[in-house]
Amino acid sequence: MNIQIFGRKKSSATKKAERFFSERRIKFHSVDLDEKQISKGELESIIAGMDNKDDLIDKDSKLYKAKYAYLRFDIFTELLTNQELIKLPVIRNGKKVTAGEQTEVWKKWIEEDN
């Protein structure tokens, strides 16, 4: 299992995800989006691993509600330039990706790995 967590140190959702994997003694690599943004190639990989790329957008964020809620836009371009729109945490397990708190999916990954 190769877990990578993209989030922010101040994000409670990111902290929950880190605690979830720590409690199960699963090693993970954290990427703080305040220190290092997701690159173009990584974003392409993340989107490719998602069932629905719209799930990567945090529709509850202030930025989304203020600027994007009523617009049509290219998700890839906007997420690359406005990473505050990304629903946290983004968890990557190899080629599989989730956005937001998805504990049931994470549990399934663990079961599949055992």
Q: Which pLDDT value is given to residue 73?
A: 87
- Map out the domains of the chain as residue ranges: 3-113
- CATH class assigned to 3-113: alpha beta
Assess whether pLDDT exceeds 80 at residue 114: no
8 contacts 34 by C-beta, under 8 angstroms: yes
Enter the pTM of the model: 0.91
Q: What value does the CA radius of gyration of the chain take, rounded to a whole number of Å?
A: 14
Per-residue pLDDT tens digits for 35-71: 999 999 999 999 999 989 899 999 999 999 998 888 8
53 contacts 26 by C-beta, under 8 angstroms: no
Q: Which pLDDT value is given to residue 71?
A: 85
pLDDT over 70, % of the chain? 100
Q: Which pLDDT value is given to residue 69?
A: 85
Q: Which pLDDT value is given to residue 95?
A: 92
